Structure 1
């Protein structure tokens, strides 16, 4: 047995140390890499695809670094010890500087971190064009719609399929039973993000109690007239293949839903976070419940798609094809 074979046979089985040969390198651009509740204090091992990472919590600040020790590749987040601005490697005890790669022999790369409520985002790649206006959007929403985690779930499907869902207008009626959807045309935003906008036509708000909903339904049965009294706007912006921010609701009552997915060795991890508009915090529970229901319905499709089947697209798939072209504009990290 070669030393490479021995290393593979004894590799840790944690998600943070997934085999590098299984998943492709993560795309450049933005990733929602964790919620604050996923961090353990001090050092937390994480991964996006085969890229092993450590999150470091210091003085209420979260920083993100490569996890591989530059000496022999030990995982600094598994057994490493944080000392000031260094991590003591668990393998040979070397002091590994956090981010100071220009001035220190032993150092690991740092990645930018943006915080929005309880959600933590990073960006891979050095091309500023891959920002696509996300920092500005985050700053605009963060004060009025702080994000709360709704779900984190492992899914046996490609990561970009989860974000692509926002651009698949027909599935909202067929799968999620939205009575009627109008618009849903994709376009490029001012900062290079991909935008889709439409309107959902419903008899009543999904946030009303069940008794009020039932009364509206019976009124339609009695009169024979269906009234679309609740017409929320749907406005989604993809800032990378792995992050889409959706504004949903009528004027003055718009909620923000962030859907993100990062690759794993067996598919992806999907995260959904929600920011409710001021004065409507009582709707948060129903929004979280609705997110779980919708993702559950989606998973039954995603995990049973035949990705080798030849697709036959029609005009309704134009926004999906626009999303795939958008994804092709991002590179892969080294």
Structure 2
């Protein structure tokens, strides 16, 4: 896998964290997944996503298109373009959308096989872990690297200075998702106050021993090459992190969203700050990978290999014709 793979701009048929609601205006909003031009429309609490290329002469309907009832009026010639109605002479396809808190997910096919259990996961998590934005960051690297990080247990120690990791095994999930599970070994919770952390550090110095008092479970499920949902923390303190990437010609846009239960709301600023710091640390590595360098993967990389095989199983998205539903 090269740092920026030109073929990555051809979108796959799985889920993407396309945008945060706060990024969408009241007017038609232009978006893109790789080389696929899209337009998003807000309808009260609902978000709808369509192909953006006018079928008449190819104008982008997200730049100057005007909504009129069930149509977008093209800014180039004023033609009325039907929204998701393939029976009309001029129409653009509509794509499946899921909303989870502030996060808007879309996939470029209506084929149920492309879901991989993600709709059920959103239903499971949405009420207890409403997502809030943590990071939106353009990165000059193939989008798959962003999600692959969850399957690379060793990088947590080398890049993010986690004292220890244990486990890190990957296996297929019941709906075709890919699951990785492991455990962090830490002296204390990163959400503890600084006084408690200092007490733990001094105790380790006095006794010349290190006790892993905080062993948060790491359980991540990749539902597509572009979306992984992670449960992190010991029982009773679990929070959810969604890490995602949308390909661009320059690399990708990485997004991270986090969700906590109501009784954990005071930890949310720390988790958001930690997510921003971690992604910035990853960015330095990703953007300085050496193109074309050979890889010599070993047994410790088995979860990474499993993720790459998972990605290879996703077909390219269908072309911009017809209704996707």
Q: TM-score range by the shorter chain?
A: over 0.9
After superposition, residues 118-129 of structure 1 pair within 5 angstroms as 118-129=102-113
Secondary structure of 2:204's aligned partner: helix
RMSD: 1.1
How far apart, CA to CA, are the structure 2 residues paired with 1:307 and 1:287? Answer: 33
Could you tell me whether the CA contact under 8 Å between 1:22 and 1:265 is conserved in 2?
no
Deviation at 1:168, TM superposition (A): 0.2
Q: Unaligned stretches of 5+ in structure 2?
A: 1-5, 320-325
Match of 2:17 in 1: 32
Question: C-alpha distance in 1, partners of 2:9/2:233?
Answer: 37
Q: Is this contact kept in 1: 2:51–2:93, CA < 8 A?
A: yes
Q: What does 1:222-237 correspond to in 2, within 5 Å?
A: 222-237=206-221
Q: Distance in 2 between matches of 1:24 and 1:271?
A: 17
CA distance in 2, matches of 1:38, 1:156: 21
**Which deviations, in whole Å up to 9, do the C-alpha atoms of 1:10-36 show, x marking residues without a partner?**
xxxxxxxxxxx9863101110110000
- 1:271 pairs with 2:251: no
Structure 1 gap ranges (5+): 1-20
Task: Verify: 1:214 aligned to 2:198, yes or no.
Answer: yes
Corresponding residue of 1:240: 224
Name the counterpart of 1:110: 94
Q: How does 1:1-334 map to 2 (within 5 A)?
A: 24-101=9-86, 103-333=87-317, 334=319
Q: Which residue of 2 aligns with 1:5?
A: none
Other structure's SS at 1:279 match: helix
- The ranges of structure 1 where at least 4 consecutive aligned residues each deviate by more than 2 angstroms after the TM superposition are 21-24
Q: Is the 8 A contact 1:112 1:122 kept in 2?
A: yes
How far apart are residue 211 of structure 1 and its match?
2.3
Tell me the distance in 2 between the aligned counterparts of 1:175 and 1:59.
42
Q: So what's the TM-score if we normalise by structure 2? A: 0.94
Matches of 2:225 and 2:112, distance apart in 1:
16
| 8 Å contact kept, 2:96–2:110 | no
Q: Give 1:78 deviation, angstroms.
A: 0.5
SS in 2 for 1:280: helix
Preserved contact between residue 96 and residue 109 of structure 2 (Cα < 8 Å)? no
Deviates more, 1:261-270 or 1:41-50: 41-50
- Contact persistence 1:193–1:240 (CA under 8 A): yes
2:102 and 2:314 map into 1 onto residues whose CA distance is: 26
Distance in 1 of aligned mates of 2:291 and 2:223: 24
TM-score normalized with structure 1 length: 0.92
Q: How far, CA to CA, are the matches of 1:97 and 1:62 in structure 2? A: 17
Matched positions, count: 313
In the TM superposition, what whole-angstrom CA distance separates every residue of 1:106-141 from its partner, at most 9, and x where no partner exists?
A: 110000110000000011234322211000011000
